[in-house]
Amino acid sequence: MSYELDPLPYDHGALEPHISEQVLTWHHDTHHQGYVNGWNSAEETLEANRESDDFSSSAGAIRNVTHNSSGHILHDLFWQNMSPEGGDEPSGALADRIAEDFGSYEAWKGEFEAAASDASGWALLVYDSFSNQLRNVVVDNHDEGAVWGGHPILACDVWEHSYYYDYGPARGDFVENFFEVVDWEEPASRYEQAAELFE
């Protein structure tokens, strides 16, 4: 199976002034494409090793699958979590669950921002299917610190390439502007799918 980079669900300039056209072009078209290429390359190595019965490079290829597939999946989620019509707070079942599990939207957001300030990669809101609750997660790189059974609901990329061109070292300003373009319909749909499966 070969993986492909889907086009952005909006124009490259659609999230300005919060995220610039230049950053989206670099980030999606070049950086994200690199993870897709890396995943495909690693899968090809594993397939060739199975055919040749030579597994000397398989451990590295397996690690490359984990790293690159996680990078691809989280970036894909990041693009889908945003839209030019974003910026509101969540409503409906997701809003109710955030209030239940975190006490309030404001408490959830404060904790999510703390995760984003500390991560060397991603801040995620996930549905933890083991504990049956929403949970904020600090993920370094793309796969370090992930929760087993955690289904990502909302992803914020806090690698420097996602914000430094626009905000310099002011990561917190980027995270605040991320909330100006979050389209809560998409995370709400992901939450409802996960809840139907596990509750």
- Which segments are annotated as binding site? 27, 75, 157, 161
- Say which residue the tokens 């999606």 belong to: 28
Helix (H) or strand (E) holding 154: strand 150-157
Sheet holding 133-140, edge to edge: 133-140, 121-128, 150-157
Tell me the binding residues for Mn(2+). Answer: 27, 75, 157, 161
Distance CA 79, CA 4 (A): 15
Rg of the Cα atoms in the chain:
18
Distance CA 67, CA 56 (A): 19
Distance CA 70, CA 7 (A): 18
The distance of Cα 103 from the centroid of its chain, to the nearest Å, equals 24
3-state DSSP call for residue 140? strand
